[in-house]
Amino acid sequence: MPEQETLRGGMIGAGAWSEVQLKGWRDVQGAQIVALCDRHPDRREPVRAKFGIAQGFDDFETMLAQANLDFVDVCVRPYSHAALTRMAAQAGLPVLCQKPFCPDLPSACETVAFCKERNVRLMINENYRWQPWYRKVKELLDAGSIGTPFFAAHHYRHRAAMGNWQPGQAYMLEMPRLLTYEMGPHYLDLFRFLLGDPDSVFARHHHISPRLKGEDVHVITLNYPDRTGIIETSWSSMPIPGLDRLEKAGRAARLIIDGTEGSIALRPDGVCQLLRPDGKREWDDLHLPQSSQAAAQQHFADCLRTGAEFETSGEYTLYSMALVYACYVSAEEGRVVEAGELLGRAAAAV
């Protein structure tokens, strides 16, 4: 990677999420998107004009061959992630790929192995861990502020799936696997970031909204040797004022972590509290100079320059995706499922 010159990136995908990504790239130091690929020019060209992207392509192979790129940002639906990542890796270009990483665990293992064989760097764009309140929680945990954690609960609810919901990513309405597949990677990566890797999961899924094919409520229990995690999420429940995030107020989910020396409480308004027998401290001004999307992308660009390991490399993310699929097996079969067992079988098949 060039040490001083601005890194040149090519993005594939000009759909609903592309503008979020491009706003992030606009705030990244030392990297920019110089080419945008989408097979629908009527969708691509307005986005390209809005963000001042120099080159536009209908075909990904042509962009890889002609755009003189330093990296690729894969910003399309999950079913295309594996194939497009491999195409970029075949061209020797580092890849930042959206989550969920792949539509199944074997293809995720195969894609990571494909990149590794070619010495191509791969990062999955998992930005929740870059939100400033979660970075603060991690700082407090690492400092031993609550002693040894033994319980954590993450709670988020709103009613978007009911009524006449029209998601920006309209294909969500037809997804047979929805909430855990779309949001599970965020939440499970967050627990790994804060508390380490759980051994197994037990999950319940519910399908409430008649407009959706996939589940819109889940409860996931994360089993550790010395602690327990709970993830509760609903897209079909009324938010409770004072307890839950409202549409135009607040910035975060509720998170509580209990330890032997105290507790950490994250409120929906983004305020982080440290509660100990000797008193309480509170942080209500948590912020980053960049959005969480830009922070994740800045991390990607910085690691390309320095050679440092990505926090959410492709190889690291395999376990997160194993946890996602373990949740589905658990919900379907009504039993505790070990993520490592699923990952081991998938990797052995590669």
43-69, pLDDT tens digit by residue? Answer: 999 999 999 999 999 999 999 999 999
For the cut 80, the answer to whether the pLDDT of residue 91 exceeds it is yes
**Which pLDDT does position 174 carry in this prediction?**
84
Looking at the 3D structure of the chain, how many domains does it have? 2
Q: What is the CATH number of the domain that holds 89?
A: 3.40.50.720
Residue 167 lies in a domain: yes
Q: Let me know if residue 176 belongs to a domain.
A: yes
Mean pLDDT, residues 243-259:
75
Same domain for 56 and 34? yes
Position 39 in a domain: yes
Same domain, yes or no, for 53 and 83?
A: yes
- What's the start-to-end Cα distance of the chain, in Å? 30
Identify whether 173 is part of a domain.
yes
Given a cut of 90, whether residue 167 has pLDDT beyond it is no
pLDDT of 40 above 90: yes
pLDDT, tens digit (0-9, with 9 covering 90-100), for 194-243: 999 999 999 999 999 998 999 999 999 999 999 999 999 999 998 888 78
Residues 230 and 86 in one domain: no
Residue 274 and residue 294 in contact, taking contact as beta carbons nearer than 8 Å: no
Its domain, for residue 152, covers 129-283
pLDDT at 261: 98
- With respect to residue 148, please indicate whether it lies within any of the assigned structural domains: yes
In one letter, which amino acid is 114?
Answer: F
Clarify whether residues 279 and 303 are in a common domain.
Answer: no
The pLDDT mean for the chain works out to 93
List the structure tokens of 258: 């209990």
Q: Is residue 329 part of a domain?
A: no
Over residues 279-302, mean pLDDT? 90
Same domain (yes/no): 168, 242: yes
User: In the prediction, which pLDDT does 198 show?
Assistant: 98
Kindly state whether residues 26 and 101 are assigned to the same domain: yes
CATH number for position 153: 3.30.360.10
Same domain, 98 and 142: no
pLDDT tens digits, 116-158: 999 999 999 999 999 999 999 999 999 999 999 999 999 998 8
Beta strand extents in 42-88 (DSSP E only): 55-57, 71-74
- Domain annotation covers residue 319: no
**Residues 108, 187 share a domain:** no
Q: In terms of domains, do 184 and 52 share one?
A: no
- Give the DSSP letter of residue 156: E
103 assigned to some structural domain: yes
What's the average model confidence in pLDDT over 81-98?
98
In our burial notation (b when 16+ CB lie closer than 10 A, e otherwise), range 151-172 reads ebebbbbbeebbeebeeeeeeb
Per-residue model confidence (pLDDT) at position 249: 46
Label the pairing between strands 228-234 and 279-283.
unpaired
The stretch 328-340 carries a mean pLDDT of 97
Question: Do 268 and 300 sit in the same domain of this protein?
Answer: no
Residue 247 has pLDDT above 70, yes or no: no
pTM more than 0.75: yes
